[in-house]
Structure 1
Amino acid sequence: MYRDSMQEEIDVTDIKRLTHFIENKYDYDFNNYAISSYRRRVKRVLELYKLSSVDDLIKKLTASPSFFQEFVSEITVNVTEMFRDPSYWKLLKEDVIPELFNQQERINIWHAGCSSGEEVFTMTILLEEMGLLDRSYIVATDIDLSIIDKAKQASIRLKNMELNQQNYERYGGKKSIWDYFTQEGNYAKFSPSLLRHTSFRKHDLVKGPVFSKFDLILCRNVMIYFNQELQNDVLTKLHESLFKYGVLAVGSKESLIWCDISHKFIILNNEEKIYRKIKE
């Protein structure tokens, strides 16, 4: 029977036990996730699957490896929309991206923690309208395989399209956002041709390797779920993944100021949290 008392609090020792179990069995490292956020999401999993304790959750994870992917999806879930924070995208369009293309013929872009793909779709529209999509290569990654599969499908619920259109208009889009979609039932299907230079991949920001070099990295609203130690490790990895003079954009509630490699960047825009790498 599901205990309502379980909703009140989950003991830190239970969280540590769960984290240790997951690392040993599935090689996923949640040790340095922000404890309050991680605990809140574990509690949500217990409620969602009518589990009465962390012990029951561990039993379910032991008995059903396929359930683990559902667990990851719940723990790493991220709210996303197209042209979120229109002023940020306007800055990329007017300043950041033109400057990158002034330095070279082609650019490589990494969306780290791409979720269901709305940020990637936004970038391809921006580049297409600038006439630069065919001079760009985009890699989009996430730890959650099911969310990567969803991004590859490139479908958005119709009920979300009104907000996407509003954001697009505030950004200063040249057309209607529907010029890039076709309706299929209750979904809007994104134009496959706009993803012709995009590769979706599974990648673990925490334990995964530096796998390439990029001119522009977007890692927005991902590190707010990490503690300071893990944020520092990830930022170091992102620094290594950038070409010198490449650009890193993080979320509005995130910053590089305090981290070990802060002196290797300069601030391009403090409000939008955009930085340029100046030292290896």
Structure 2
Amino acid sequence: MQQQTKKWGAALLLGGLPLLWVLYLLWQPLDWQAEQSMQVPAMGPKLSFGEHAYWYLWINIGTIFFPFLLSFDKKVHFYKKWRFLLPGLLMVGGFFLAWDVFFTQMGVWDFNPRYFTYSFLGLPLGEWLFFITVPYACVFIHECLLAYIPKDVLAPIERPLSWLLVFGFYAIGFLGLWMSYTAWTFLLAGSFLLWQLLFVPNHYRSRFYLAYLISIFPFLLVNGILTGGFNQEPVVLYNNSQQLQNLLGFRCGSIPWDDFIYGFLLLFLNVAFFEYFKKKGAKLSDSFKNKD
């Protein structure tokens, strides 16, 4: 019991106090540089057909289209596991939407009205859908890898890799403590991974790492479009003073470096909830079988 208390104390101290500092920073006025938020490097040819108000909606449809169709694959049967996916989508999506609304109001980022029509709480419809389509696609990749690559290839290095990520996330989070997006994203990711290492055995962590590595390829395309790498203007506008670009002086193409860890946390939380409810469903099913 005492050991568990110490673990919880360490996790709350390392993750909680810096996040309170970031919240304090966010209540200070931020300098929004509208002109600079539009200036991003190109990542390829411009998609002239995407210059309209429904573009963000199209991006979401394109993100989920093939994962949804392939959900009925006979080996994966992902459609049978939707009931395990939905609770996590709602809980994680709710948290990220609240984060999104808050950061938009504080001037950490904003959305280009050129690429959407309807909005709610300051977020375009496409942004609300983003927290369904992107996690759905990633959890689908996670399940496909379980079905088609049964060997857990990253299991031998999972422990050192996880600790390396925790230290790396915390180091960058503390280094950029005055940059709201960087500090909040990296410290949250580090805290969640630390909690995982202290309290959750590696039933799926190394499997998620592989799914995340593979999901980076479609992520570069989708996020490249959202950040203006393939359009005349970005869909999502960033305050450069609040992200790693302020420290490094450049992005990954048009994509802020922070987005990679934002995506890591978003997808990891969804996979964690999915695996939790899947395991809980399996136990419930076994108990009914034993009764019979």
TM-score by length of 1: 0.27
Greater RCO (CA < 8 Å, at least 6 residues apart): 2
